[in-house]
Structure 1
């Protein structure tokens, strides 16, 4: 495995864990009525590579599943990242 692939996989793992954790923390805060994590922060974590963790947390925790345009933005981020990953894999296959 090339060094940059190991770096990228480590980055993605960390970002997905951070995104999942942020969604879980925000859900906890919502239940307690405490100050919330800004939506922009949650979307930024997803955009930095944590979209899978964010989507899993959203479904498992039932958090922000009906909130628009947040949900649409999260899905668009995930779709863009999936397309980029597919293009990268396609390029590496050559």
Structure 2
């Protein structure tokens, strides 16, 4: 079970990371952008690490306070939930 959860989070993290890069590229070209809600949706579903890595790797969305503080907050909440579930399962 844990293996599937880890694979799920890795897949969503990769997707969020790639969306950050894609959105940065499109922003520079003045093209259609990825809606911000997609970054947060993927982060809430388990892709927060990829969103944070992509944000700083591509230097994208780092000036928006809701990304700068919101994505790490989501990650901390998810980590706390994982610890709580792990302790409860004992």
Q: Does the aligned pair in 2 maintain the 1:15–1:45 contact within 8 Å?
A: yes
Map of 1:61-72 to 2, 5 A cutoff? 61-72=58-69
Q: Give the structure-2-normalised TM-score.
A: 0.88
| Structure 2: gaps spanning 5 or more residues | none
Q: 2:32 aligns with which of 21, 29, 35?
A: 35
Map of 1:36-75 to 2, 5 A cutoff? 36-75=33-72
How many residue pairs match? The answer is: 90
In 2, Cα distance between equivalents of 1:39 and 1:65: 13
Q: Which runs of 4+ in 1 moved over 6 A?
A: none
Give the aligned CA root-mean-square deviation in angstroms.
1.4
Q: CA deviation at 1:70?
A: 3.1
Aligned position for 1:85: 82
